[in-house]
Amino acid sequence: MKKRITLLLVVLSSVAFAQDYLVEEKYNPESYSRNPFSGNAENPNHRGIYGWGLYDHAGAESPTTNRWGSNHFNIRYQYNQKLFLGTFLVFGTGYNWNSFNLLKSETSFYNDSTEYDKRKFRFQNITSHLGLRFQTNENPDESFFLQVNGYWDILTHTAFNGWLEDENGVKIRNRKTKLNDTKINTFGLELRTGYAPFALFARYRLSDIFDNSVIDLPLFNFGIDIEIPSGD
């Protein structure tokens, strides 16, 4: 069996490399170029960004949440404005969804809720960001990049959800919205790096979510992004 697999791999690899295109170009006068100078083509510096990540305590002494189930998801628009060579000023706006899955033992938040089997905070924000982006060449679809942003989130929706199963096996979900002890504005820093449309991101929140809170929800989240040129 092992021999057969090896033989198959050899055959497949020879098939894969048997034809070698050294140059492959198509030319269509109707779409002469795809760049911001052309005046008649898509501009790849308009970016749609879709990101998903996990919240992490990043070494905090007393974690408050489970990593799994504490998510960040965002959809953003970003424009890359060239400054010089591969250096760009970036700015954008969008919306994000955040979920924090509290540890069963966590009593810092709503300490009367520990009877629940699962508890989650959910926050939604309008987000905007401003930063610098460094690319290995001018085309964001063909370059490695490193991007450093400051971001600013404006809270639009808050919710606290608790799930439990009572002694009769009935599943109960309680939901409290419009939490009144949260801050409207939060801000932080973001680092993104990747190649072409694919990126890793890390965000660090510099402000608390809750007013007058002794400890706070995780400050750090990291994940993956995909950028899609959105055109003119």
Partner 1 sequence: MRNIAIILFLTCNSAFAQMEAFLVSFKDKPVGDFNPYAYFHQDAINAKQAMGLPLYDWYDLPLNHQYVQTIQSIIDSTGYNLRWFNGLVIYTSVDKAASLFQLPFVKSISSLSSELVPTAERYFPEDVQEDFKIFDWQLQTLGKSYFDDKNLNGKGVKICIVDVGFDKADLNSLINRYIINRTDTFAWDFALNRALDFSTGHPHGGQVASFVAGKIDGHSVGLATEANLIFAKMNALFKTNKTREEAWLKAVEWAHQQGARLVNSSLGYSGNRSHKHNKLTGDSCLMSRAANLSARKGMLIVSSAGNDGTTLWKRIAFPADADSALTVGAISPETGVRTNYSSYGPTFNAKLKPNVSALGDVFWWNGDHLQEISGTSFSSPLVTGFAACILQDNPSLKPMDLVDTIQKSSSLYPYFDYSHGYGVPQASKYFNADTIQADSATVTIEKSPSYLQEGYYSFEYKSHNNSQIFYQIVNKKGIIKEYNVVKYEFKNDAPKIYYSDLEKGDKIRVKHRGTFIEVVHK
**Total residues contacting partner 1 (rule CB under 8 A)?**
28
Near partner 1 by CB under 8 A, which window of 24-32, 54-62, 116-124, 160-168? Answer: 24-32
Mask: binding to partner 1, 137-156, rule CB under 8 A, as x and -?
xxx--x--------------
Query: 218: closest CA among 112, 52, 61?
Result: 61
Residue 41, classed as helix, strand or coil, is coil
The one-character DSSP state at 168 is T
CB environment 171-195: b (16+ within 10 A), e (fewer): eeeeeeeebeebeeebebebbbbbe
Nearer to partner 1, 39 or 169 (CB): 39
Tell me which stretch binds partner 1 (CB under 8 A): 107-115, 117-125, 133-141, 204-212: 133-141
- CA distances for 202 relative to 23, 91, 219, angstroms: 38, 17, 11
Query: Which listed residue (2, 19, 59, 180) binds partner 1 by CB under 8 A?
Result: 19
Mark the segment that binds partner 1 (CB under 8 A) among 26-34, 96-104, 198-206, 222-230: 26-34
Tell me the closest approach of the beta carbon of residue 39 to partner 1, in angstroms.
5
Q: Is the Cβ of residue 85 or residue 224 nearer to partner 1 in the bound state?
A: 85
Closest CA to 215 of 116, 95, 100: 100
Q: How far is CA 1 from CA 4, 73, 116, in A?
A: 5, 45, 53
> Quick one: CA torsion of 126, 131, 136, 142, rounded to 10 degrees?
20
- In whole angstroms, how close is the CB of 42 to partner 1 at the nearest point? 11
Residue 111 in the binding site for partner 1 (CB under 8 A): no
Q: Which of 154, 146, 34, 33 is nearest to 90 (CA)?
A: 146
How far apart are CB 15 and partner 1 at their closest, in Å?
A: 8
The answer to whether 76 and 32 are in contact (CB under 8 A) is no
Instruction: Give the span between the Cα atoms of 109 and 64, in whole angstroms.
Output: 9
**Choice between 39 and 59, CB closer to partner 1:** 39
Least distance in angstroms from the C-beta of 121 to partner 1? 43
Near partner 1 by CB under 8 A: residue from 3, 4, 30, 40: 40
- Considering only residues 2, 4, 5, 29, which one is a binding residue for partner 1 as defined by CB under 8 A? 29
Q: Does 167 bind partner 1 (CB under 8 A)?
A: no
Between CA 190 and CA 2 the distance in angstroms is 47
Q: Which residues bind partner 1 (CB under 8 A)?
A: 14, 18-29, 32-41, 44, 137-139, 142
